[in-house]
Amino acid sequence: MPRTRTRNDAARAAQDAQRWASVVAKDKTADGQFYTAVATTGIYCRPSCAARRPKRENVTFYDTCAEAEAAGYRPCKRCKPNELVPGAQHAAKVAEACRLIMEAEVVPKLDDLARAVGLSPFHFHRLFKSIVGVTPKAYATATRQQRVREKLGRSTSVTEAIYDAGYNSNGRFYATATDILGMTPTDYRGGGANAEIKFAVAQCSLGAILVAASGEGVCAIFLGDDPNELVHEVQDLFPNASLIGGDREFEKLVAHVVGFVETPHAEWDLPLDVRGTAFQHRVWQALRAIPPGETVSYAELARRMGAPKAVRAVAGACAANHVAVAIPCHRVVRTDGNLSGYRWGVERKRTLIEREKIK
Ligand SMILES: [Zn+2]
């Protein structure tokens, strides 16, 4: 098909002319896009190589290092074309890959992503992880989880939300849903539907205390001045659960929790049934690792979790804690040592911190 070949040849010639212009300009943004092989030296270079410019008639362009090497060329020792392209261009490639992952209907394959940004799968994987901090696959999974959480807030059907978020199999979603959401998707949307939660209000040295527990464990510990307000709070937290006033047996549990709150160095020894995102669970774990008597800043907590840039998300997760004292969010203060806020009153926070300082 001569006509087709002519058009391809014309396209190739136009591309080569553009590439040669990049070589003449020593254009760094062209690095990684193609390689310049020089017949007289048997060496191939990046377009921006600082070595003396070869004669145009000796130059052949290749899309990849592999192609240049297959044609018998060796990498230039000066511009090291077969090593990773440094700096900004890397970031641009990774940003492009992130965009592809976010926009894709189904999780793109590693090979496809690498090809799309012009890197070998091996280099791409290494580069992505070094810049983003997680593998492309983990990034894709996290993106989807975020979408599912956003969708579940509005969507009418759980199945619809799963498909909208790019999961192509219900079974796979449900297998990981408990980890992501802390409960099954139906419960998450239903605000605790079908759950039976017992609760009781008592008094402690910090004022009124409400303790609520599901069949799995303690799910709320609230502190306040007005017992009725605490009851409203627990109703707001579990709008679709059956809330049942605690019986005698439950009073023992409440007494146990009060004893824990009153004993600053006691170890929490009851099961917790706290529901949140995987990230919130990580924050809550990190909070429980802070020993009594110690306070840390949000930034320090984020650092300890290995997520130093997530300070605001960490603060958000602390604020989303529903079990006062058992998950000791009161041990987090501002960087300047200021107490900052506390959901159950800054005076209670001060009291708790001061009590714990006494050995
Ligand atoms: Zn070179």
What local confidence, expressed as pLDDT, does residue 14 receive? 86
Name the one residue in this structure whose structure tokens are 């992503």.
113
84 CA from centroid of ligand 1 (Å): 14
This prediction has a pTM of: 0.49
11 CA from centroid of ligand 1 (Å): 26
178 CA from centroid of ligand 1 (Å): 53
What local confidence, expressed as pLDDT, does residue 168 receive? 47
Of 45, 106, 325, the residue nearest 209 (C-alpha): 325
CA angle 270, 271, 277 (to 5 degrees): 135
For the chain, the C-alpha Rg in angstroms (whole number) is: 30
- Ion ligand 1 neighbours, Cβ < 5 Å: 45, 49, 51, 76, 78-79
Name the one residue in this structure whose structure tokens are 């990498």.
75
What local confidence, expressed as pLDDT, does residue 158 receive? 52
pLDDT tens, position by position, 174-196: 444 444 444 454 555 555 555 77
**Alpha carbon of residue 235 to chain centroid:** 30
116 CA from centroid of ligand 1 (Å): 25
30 CA from centroid of ligand 1 (Å): 13
359 CA from centroid of ligand 1 (Å): 67
- C-alpha distances out from residue 82 to 88, 117, 119, Å: 17, 16, 11
115 CA from centroid of ligand 1 (Å): 24
Structure tokens at 215: 């069949």
Rounded Cα gap, residues 182 and 280, in angstroms? 10
Rounded Cα gap, residues 49 and 64, in angstroms? 16
What local confidence, expressed as pLDDT, does residue 233 receive? 87
Q: Is 318 a catalytic residue?
A: no
pLDDT values of the chain reduced to their tens digit, one per residue, 359 residues: 444 556 678 888 888 999 999 999 988 778 878 899 999 999 999 999 988 899 999 999 998 888 899 999 999 988 888 875 555 566 667 777 887 887 777 778 999 999 998 888 888 888 777 666 677 887 787 777 767 666 666 554 555 555 555 554 444 444 444 444 444 545 555 555 557 788 888 888 888 889 998 877 889 999 998 888 888 888 888 877 778 887 777 877 888 888 888 887 877 878 888 877 778 888 888 999 999 989 999 999 999 988 888 888 888 889 889 999 999 999 999 877 677 778 898 899 999 998 888 76
Q: Which of 49, 65, 318, 329 is catalytic?
A: 329
Rounded Cα gap, residues 348 and 355, in angstroms? 11
- The interaxial angle of helices 88-103 and 121-132, nearest 10 deg, is 90
Structure tokens at 172: 């796979």
Q: Is 79 a catalytic residue?
A: no
pLDDT tens, position by position, 77-119: 888 888 755 555 666 677 778 878 877 777 789 999 999 988 8
Rounded Cα gap, residues 61 and 51, in angstroms? 17
